[in-house]
């Protein structure tokens, strides 16, 4: 299993909206960056990810999982270059993990959230996953 981080502006799509979507989940649409798209193409069913509130909040607030593999993004009209996955909420982060705390942790110095801040869908290493879960109070992190 691989791990990921998905960024969303809470005014556009919030963690609460993601949870409200239920087990069916939602398409992670609107990504128009080739690297982020390629990250989604690499995802497998059941891969877990962090849900990150960008711009407003700047914190990891929940855990999601991939529930449908990469497919054409329904918001891309006839532009077949853009694909997305579907994700569903798994659980709240007991203690949201702020960007400030991530940047202050030397174990996370190479995390894409620190080094590639503008990338909207990014990989998370196993070590980073476990450290952020620890920071967020997840005693038995979903893997």
pLDDT digits (tens, 9 = 90+) for 7-43: 999 999 999 999 999 999 999 999 999 999 999 999 9
Position 141 scores a pLDDT of 82
Rounded to two decimals, the pTM is: 0.96
Cα angle at 40 between 115 and 101, to 5 degrees? Answer: 30
Mean pLDDT on 99-108: 98
Q: Coil, strand or helix: which one is 5?
A: strand
pLDDT at 142 over 90: no
Phi first, then psi, for residue 36 (nearest 5°) are -65, -40
pLDDT at 99 over 90: yes
């Amino acid at each position: 299993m691989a791990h990921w981080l998905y960024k969303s502006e809470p005014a556009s799509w919030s963690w609460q909206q993601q949870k409200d979507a239920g087990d069916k989940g939602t398409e992670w649409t609107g990504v128009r960056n080739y690297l982020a798209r390629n990250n989604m193409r690499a995802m497998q069913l059941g891969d877990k990810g962090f849900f990150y509130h960008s711009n407003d909040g700047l914190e990891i607030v929940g855990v999601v999982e991939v529930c449908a593999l990469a497919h054409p993004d329904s918001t891309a009209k006839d532009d077949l270059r853009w694909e997305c996955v579907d994700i569903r909420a798994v659980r709240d982060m007991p203690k949201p993990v702020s960007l400030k705390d991530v940047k202050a942790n030397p174990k996370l110095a190479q995390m894409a959230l620190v080094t590639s801040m503008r990338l909207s869908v990014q990989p998370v290493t196993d070590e980073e996953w476990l450290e952020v879960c620890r920071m967020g109070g997840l005693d038995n992190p979903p893997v």
